Amino acid sequence: MFGKRYRLIKNTLKHNVSQVLALTEKNIKLETRFKFHLVYGFINPIITILMPLIIFNKLFSFNETFGPWTPENYAVFVLSTYNLYLLKQIITDFPVNLRQEKFWKTIPALLIAPFNRYDLLFGIYLSHLIIISLPFILFFIMTLIIYPISLWTFFFVIFIYMLIALIFSGIGLFLGVFALSNESIWRFLSIALKLIFWASCISYPFEIFPESVQFLIALNPFYYIFTILRMAWIQDNFILTITDYWFHFIIILVAAIIIPIITVFIFNKVFKKYGIVGY
């Protein structure tokens, strides 16, 4: 009995891994097919971080500080913003790719066949990490040179980045099903997400906003996710960071577990009810 169960688990795991790897390879080929779009995705976050960099360099010249951010450590904020934007691209890229495949009529072979949606999720996750790996590693190394951290903090920060990527992959899958089944809802949700990210302190420190806006930001779970990433780096003591920002740490752990589960459930329900609409 135990041997049969072990072989079943082993075969199931092997099958799932092969599906994830196959989908990863497929997504990488699809993403790299359009070279300009790929390069644009690497350059656009640089343009995004230039404005806060210019503004705060000017403000720091007046001996201003903003919460924990000073002229000495602000590079951590800016460079982490670039990498967060790289990860965030999966939220928009995945539904766009699914929509393209819908009109190329290649999507039914993937979704109508017996295909585990979690394999789809992790295929998205892995392929995106591979695609953005070069610029991500470059900016990560730049941050290390400017503001060095210990080995334990290094691994903790990488762990946080991986959790964030998993959260973004789940959101991308959530938008993806509406790109297939109801494009109007997809567009509406995309606009709503832009507003949520605007009020997340992804580009600007929390302390520069007026109190009325700070109240709204404090309701945004992404604020806590981005904050613990940056605080882990500048505190350079992951135990201290978890102790000081335990609420932030709980939010990112819960989000990394719950969001993929919920989005896969919604994907299955919506796709089963509406299917592929818009050929």
Q: 66 — phi, psi (to 5°)?
A: -130, 95
Q: What is the DSSP letter of 34?
A: S
CA distances from 94 to 117, 130, 152, 197, 272 (A): 14, 14, 33, 18, 19
Q: Tell me the mean pLDDT in the region 256-262.
A: 94
In this prediction, residue 178 carries a pLDDT of 85
pLDDT of residue 234: 94
DSSP 41-84: HHHHHHHHHHHHHHHHHHHHTTT--BTTB-TTTHHHHHHHHHHH
φ, ψ dihedrals at 5, nearest 5°? -65, -40
Average pLDDT for the chain: 84
Query: Which one of 19-28, 45-54, 187-196 scores highest in mean pLDDT?
Result: 187-196
Give the separation between CA 271 and CA 91, rounded to whole angstroms.
Answer: 18
pLDDT digits (tens, 9 = 90+) for 23-38: 777 778 777 777 777 7
User: Which pLDDT does position 110 carry in this prediction?
Assistant: 61
Write the burial class of residue 101 (CB in 10 Å: 0-12 exposed, 13-18 middle, 19+ buried).
buried
Domains of the chain by residue range: 2-274
pLDDT number for residue 148 = 95
For 229-244, what is each residue's pLDDT tens digit?
999 999 999 999 999 9
Segment 93-150, tens digit of pLDDT: 888 877 777 676 666 666 655 567 788 888 888 888 999 999 999 999 999 999 999 9
Query: Mean pLDDT over residues 179-189, rounded?
Result: 82
∠ Cα 263 228 155 (to 5°): 90
